């Protein structure tokens, strides 16, 4: 019996998956140099604060928040796409009713942000932010335009592959995830230290969406599918023996 059972307070315990995540110290990504801890991390048991988390967003999602092409009077320039998929935990169970937030550059590779100095045009019909809730089966869906690649100053002639930023909560503090979704076959992957900061190839592949003809809308929009997997509970302590594979 594990110690989670002794006090009568039985808590879910979220399975770690450290090999899927990038090291905070990634020298190729220059700005990580002064922004990673050098002391070893301290073990934090998963107690009540860690296995609970904010269940929010229902009152934050407006009518057009999931459709980034419908937030202005006119339509944005660029290739209209549908981005959809499911939020799952690592046991493959859907994560229902959870907030999914996105932000991205426009089709020219420019963010609506003061700090973005890339000399590419802003689009008066594109803000580049969206949010939605997953449904009962963990499905989410956005309509947007395909973001452009853009240069940055990490190394000589550095370019970020096209990507959409995603923010997820799941249902527990341990599940919080900020990540980026990429597009299949991007020729810029090889030189991107952020994408390649994930050392495990299979894990890197999990950041790449797939083109999906079935969910395209003929004569209107192409479609990319992307499932997001958050840490899952490893079962109750009483199931440990069966779970031990």
- Structure-block tokens of residue 108: 């020219």
Of residues 199 through 228, those in contact with another protein by CB under 8 A are 202-204, 206-207, 228
Report the Cα–Cα distance between both ends of the chain, in Å, rounded: 17
Q: Decide if 237 contacts 5 (C-beta within 8 A).
A: yes
The smaller minimum CB distance to another protein, of residues 53 and 215, is found at 53
Of residues 27 through 86, those in contact with another protein by CB under 8 A are 29, 31-39, 41-56, 60, 71
Sequence-ordered alpha helix ranges (H) in 57-158: none
The DSSP 8-state label assigned to residue 35 in this structure reads S
14, 111, 140, 182: which one is catalytic?
Answer: 111
Residue 97 interacting with another protein (CB under 8 A): no
Q: What gap in Å lies between CA 223 and CA 212, rounded to an integer?
A: 6
**Nearest distance in Å: CB 81, another protein:** 19
| Residues near another protein (CB under 8 A), total | 87
* 163 has catalytic annotation: yes
- Structure-block tokens of residue 123: 């689009």
Q: What gap in Å lies between CA 193 and CA 195, rounded to an integer?
A: 6
Of residues 141 through 180, those in contact with another protein by CB under 8 A are 165, 167, 171-174, 176-180
The H-or-E segment that residue 49 falls in is: helix 48-51
Of residues 103 through 142, those in contact with another protein by CB under 8 A are 103, 105, 111-113, 115-116, 127-129
With CB under 8 A as the contact rule, the residue among 74, 92, 121, 124 that binds another protein is 92
The smaller minimum CB distance to another protein, of residues 191 and 197, is found at 197
Q: What is the length of the chain? A: 245
With CB under 8 A as the contact rule, the residue among 61, 96, 229, 240 that binds another protein is 229
139, 165, 204, 206: which one is catalytic?
Answer: 165
The smaller minimum CB distance to another protein, of residues 17 and 79, is found at 17
* 111 has catalytic annotation: yes
**Nearest distance in Å: CB 184, another protein:** 16
14, 140, 150, 182: which one is catalytic?
Answer: 150
Half-sphere exposure of 72 (CA within 13 A, CB side): 14
**Nearest distance in Å: CB 185, another protein:** 19
Q: What gap in Å lies between CA 129 and CA 112, rounded to an integer?
A: 9
Q: What gap in Å lies between CA 34 and CA 30, rounded to an integer?
A: 9
Closest to 156 (Cα-Cα) out of 28, 39, 34: 28
* 155 has catalytic annotation: no
**Nearest distance in Å: CB 80, another protein:** 20
Q: What gap in Å lies between CA 59 and CA 150, rounded to an integer?
A: 34
The smaller minimum CB distance to another protein, of residues 8 and 218, is found at 8
Q: What gap in Å lies between CA 25 and CA 6, rounded to an integer?
A: 38
Residue 236 interacting with another protein (CB under 8 A): no
Which residues participate in catalysis according to the annotation?
Answer: 111, 150, 160, 163, 165
């Amino acid at each position: 019996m594990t110690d989670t059972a002794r006090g009568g307070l039985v808590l879910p315990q979220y399975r770690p998956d450290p090999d899927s995540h990038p090291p905070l110290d990634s020298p190729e990504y220059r700005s990580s140099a002064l922004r990673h801890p050098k002391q070893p991390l301290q073990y934090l048991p998963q107690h009540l604060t860690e296995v609970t988390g904010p269940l929010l967003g229902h009152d934050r999602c407006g009518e057009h928040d999931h459709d980034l092409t419908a937030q202005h009077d006119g339509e944005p320039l660029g290739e209209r796409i549908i981005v959809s998929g499911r939020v799952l935990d690592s046991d493959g169970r859907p994560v229902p009713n959870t907030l999914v937030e996105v932000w991205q550059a426009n089709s020219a590779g420019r963010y609506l942000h003061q700090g973005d100095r890339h000399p590419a045009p802003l689009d008066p019909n594109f803000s580049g932010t969206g949010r939605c809730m997953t449904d009962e089966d963990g499905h989410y869906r956005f309509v947007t335009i395909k973001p452009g690649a853009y240069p940055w100053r990490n190394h000589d002639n550095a370019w970020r592959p096209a990507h959409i930023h995603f923010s997820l909560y799941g249902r527990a503090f341990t599940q919080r995830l900020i990540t980026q979704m990429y597009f299949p076959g991007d020729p810029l992957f090889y030189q991107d230290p952020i994408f390649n900061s994930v050392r495990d190839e299979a894990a890197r592949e999990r950041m790449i969406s797939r083109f999906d003809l079935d969910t395209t809308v003929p004569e209107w929009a192409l479609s990319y599918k992307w499932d997001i997997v958050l840490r899952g509970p490893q079962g109750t302590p009483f199931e440990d023996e069966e779970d031990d594979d």
